[in-house]
Amino acid sequence: MIEVEVKARINSFKEMEEKLEKLGAVKTKEEFQQDIYFASPIVDFAETDEALRVRTTNNDIFITYKGPKLNDQAKTRKEVEMSIESAEKAKDIFEEIGFSEARTVEKNRQYYSFENFEISLDDVSGLPPYMEIEISMDDGEDYSEAQNRIFEVFEKLGITDGFERTSYMELLENLNTD
C-alpha cells in the first residue's frame, strides 16, 4: 500500500472545523494516539527516511513500517501496518533484537472524511496545530494525480503554505536541537 500524505500547520482547530464542515467533510471519529518510534540497529532511519512504530489508540494497537519518501512534494511512501495484541510485548521483542525506543509522540486526532480522502486535525503534544490529508493507493498506481488533488483540497480550505514533509517525531526532535 502507498500512502500519499500532506501535512500543514494551521492557525486554529475551530477555524478549520468550520471550513471542513462548509466543504462537506464529515467528522468520523476522535481518538488519542500514542506512537512509540524505534531506532534500528541495522540502518539509520533518519538517513534512509524510514520509520518503525507501535501505535496505541483508544481501541487498537498496530505495528507500522513506513518506507522512504518517494518524491519531494509530499510524504508519499510505502506503508505496511498490522494489528497486534500488546504494545509492551512488541516493544520488548524489538528491544530484544536490538531496536531501541527513539521517541514517543502523543496526539489527539479528529478524523474527517471528504470524497476519498482522510483528513485529520492533529493536536500533538509539544507542537502547534496541524492538519493532514491523505489517501491510500495500491502499489504501482500513479500517485501524482492523488497528490495534486490533496493540494487542491488544501487550497479549497484556504491553505497555500505551511506544508511540512517531516514527521511529528522529527518536528519534536528539531525543537530539542534548536
Task: Output the DSSP codes for 115-154.
Answer: TTEEEEEEEETTS--EEEEEEEE-TTS--HHHHHHHHHHH
Residue the block writes with cell 530539542: 176
Phi, psi of 120 (to 5 degrees): -130, 140
Active site residues: 37
How far out from the chain centre does Cα 65 lie? 12
Phi, psi of 125 (to 5 degrees): -60, 120
Residue the block writes with cell 494551521: 10
Instruction: State the Cα–Cα distance between residues 130 and 148, nearest whole angstrom.
Output: 19
Instruction: State the Cα–Cα distance between residues 27 and 87, nearest whole angstrom.
Output: 28
Q: Is 70 exposed, middle or buried (0-12, 13-18, 19+ CB in 10 A)?
A: middle
